[in-house]
């Protein structure tokens, strides 16, 4: 039987840290078939700082819903047992995607996915975005590059080296390398925190992401990411990218810089095994 494993779903999320917040033991994720997470999603571009005289850019925010559902077990490549999740965005952006995870000991690994859900518009805007010296034709492309390192198999992207999404049990102070190519991404359980949701405050473990874009052994201050997880799954995720340069059309010269924020906050759960569960079925 597969052990209880907690899965941070992509699609596939702050108040102050407090040592008195106790999320309780988290040894697994409620990945029982039919369990569903409904999220309120936000993407915003703010704080425009012009680099060209007369340049302007209006603050932009987009909101919609993301729905993640556990679909149960699935077998890929004829023999690899996975846990399958689907994600669907509705509202300002409409798309659907699939993610597959595998379990190795106490580690959950991202194995394959198709069109992972991102809190970003899919349509082109005529803008180009540059972060840490890399230029992207869309915000979607920028965010996807933050998690690349895979090969294409049929309609799925399969990871060459499946990255460890979570290691259990969740324990404050635990840290690990999530990715090492095309750049280093590390994760650390920095503490515990209450997260405000439509259902009230939920105690979570706070997991910080750090990126080492230049491979100099130092976290890049332009990118920050935080997940909030407990025994109900992923409660909140926030990614902030500062000083993203934007260019118009084919002109490579940036007109200015903006700050990008992507955020998902759970609004409701559907399923029979919250907050406790006894294993996969």
Confidence of residue 153 (pLDDT cuts 50, 70, 90): very low
Query: Mean pLDDT throughout 55-82?
Result: 92
Mean pLDDT of the chain: 81
Position 82 in a domain = yes
Confidence of residue 207 (pLDDT cuts 50, 70, 90): very high
Question: What is the domain range of residue 131?
Answer: 36-269
Higher confidence at residue 45 or residue 274?
Answer: 45
**CA separation for the pair 139, 121 (Å, rounded):** 8
Position 214 in a domain = yes
Position 121 in a domain = yes
pLDDT tens, residue by residue, 172-199: 999 999 988 778 899 999 999 999 999 9
| Res 91 pLDDT > 90 | no
**Inter-residue contact 242 to 213 (CB < 8 Å):** no
Residue 194 CB partners (closer than 8 Å, separation 6+) = 15, 18, 21, 201, 202, 203, 204
Structure tokens at 229: 């997880």
| Res 16 pLDDT > 90 | no
Position 281 in a domain = no
Position 25 in a domain = no
Position 24 in a domain = no
What is the domain count for the chain? 1
Position 114 in a domain = yes
pTM of the full predicted structure?
Answer: 0.84
| Res 18 pLDDT > 60 | no
Q: Using alpha carbons only, what angle is made at residue 66 by residues 58 and 244, rounded to the nearest 5 degrees?
A: 35
Position 5 in a domain = no
């Amino acid at each position: 039987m597969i052990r209880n494993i907690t899965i941070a779903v992509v699609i596939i999320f702050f108040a102050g840290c407090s040592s008195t917040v106790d999320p309780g033991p988290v040894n697994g994720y409620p990945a029982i078939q039919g369990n569903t997470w409904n999220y309120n999603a936000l993407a915003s571009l703010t704080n425009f700082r012009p680099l060209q005289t007369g340049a302007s850019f209006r603050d932009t925010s987009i909101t919609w819903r993301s729905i993640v559902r556990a679909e149960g077990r699935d077998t890929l490549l004829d023999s690899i047992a996975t846990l399958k999740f689907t994600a669907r965005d509705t509202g300002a952006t409409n798309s659907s995607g699939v993610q597959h995870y595998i379990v190795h000991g106490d580690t959950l690994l991202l194995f394959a996915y198709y069109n992972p859900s991102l809190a970003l518009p899919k349509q082109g805007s005529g803008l180009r975005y540059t972060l840490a010296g890399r230029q992207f034709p869309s915000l979607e492309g920028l965010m996807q590059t933050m998690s690349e390192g895979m090969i294409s198999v049929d309609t799925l992207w399969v990871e060459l080296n499946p990255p460890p999404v979570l290691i259990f049990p969740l324990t404050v102070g635990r840290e690990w390398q999530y990715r090492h190519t095309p750049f280093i991404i590390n994760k650390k359980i920095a503490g515990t925190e209450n997260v405000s949701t439509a259902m009230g405050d939920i105690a979570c473990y706070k997991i910080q992401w750090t990126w080492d874009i230049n491979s100099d052994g130092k976290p890049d201050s332009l990118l920050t990411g935080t997940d909030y997880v407990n025994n109900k799954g992923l409660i909140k995720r926030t990614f902030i990218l500062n000083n993203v340069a934007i260019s118009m059309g084919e002109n490579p010269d940036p007109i200015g810089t903006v700050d990008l924020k992507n955020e998902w906050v759970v609004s409701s759960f559907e399923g029979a095994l919250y907050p406790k569960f006894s294993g996969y079925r």
